[in-house]
Amino acid sequence: MQELSRREREKLSRRNEILQAARKVFASKDYAAATVDDVAAAAELSKGTIYLYFQNKADLFLSTFEMGMEQVASTVIESISANKNDPIVGIKDIVERILLFCEEHIDLFKIVASENAHFELQSEIGRNNSFHQRIMDKESRIIMTLTAYIQQGIDMGVFKKVDARDAASALLSIIKGFAFDWIMNLEKGSPRDKADIINTIFLDGLRQKDHIVDQH
């Protein structure tokens, strides 16, 4: 991979700074109430500078969502790399890492959980094909990475012969369900407290009978 030039690294750094500021603004305000001016103020930049990187408020919002998805994808890849030869341990680690990510980035998940923001996200995706493709690309990366890992477990005889993609989608849906329930209901404790029940639900259904899931 070609190394980025200094100018490219600086632009990427500035873009990430803007997105971090946008996340704080969208998490603290209703989406409809938040403005590009708010983001500029939080980032300590001019409004014009924001528009050098993003088209409008919707682009800023979608980009914060994309950034989170990229981080989740990296989390999954790191976990798989650390547990290449043990899919059961790897799946448990993926669940715990994603739940930890939810806890550490609750501002991002508050944005996604907002009804107004969700409506705006869906509306903008419907209006703008490039936005739709951007989100689909990020989702596909996560799903396909997890699918390949589950398929590896199937080929090793650790998991049952099921549709690996369906299993990957099911696992992510279970994690999202517990994470959003924690966020929206402001339950005590950590979302990581739900890791054991998620792993029990998923792995007890997926693993072959002669493979015991370590509960520790």
**C-alpha separations of 141 from 55, 61, 181, 191, 192 in Å:** 24, 20, 25, 24, 24
141 in Cβ contact with 73 (< 8 Å): yes
With a pLDDT cut of 70, the percent of the chain lying above it is: 89
| Nearest-5° Cα angle at 80, 79 to 86 | 110
Average pLDDT over residues 63-86: 91
Higher pLDDT, 123 or 143: 143
- Mean pLDDT over the full length of the chain: 86
Binning pLDDT at 50, 70 and 90, where does residue 187 land?
low
Query: Which residue shows structure tokens 């799946």?
Result: 91
CA contacts within 13 A on the Cβ side of 98: 29
Q: How confident is the model at residue 215 (pLDDT cuts 50, 70, 90)?
A: very low
For the chain, list the domains and their CATH numbers. Answer: 57-206 (1.10.357.10)
Q: What is the pLDDT of residue 216?
A: 45
Which candidate, 67, 77, 46, places its Cα nearest to that of 111? 67
Q: For residues 91-106, give the mean pLDDT.
A: 91
pLDDT digits (tens, 9 = 90+) for 126-174: 777 777 787 788 888 899 999 999 999 999 999 999 999 999 999 999 9
Residue 185, pLDDT score: 72
Model confidence at 186: pLDDT above 60? no
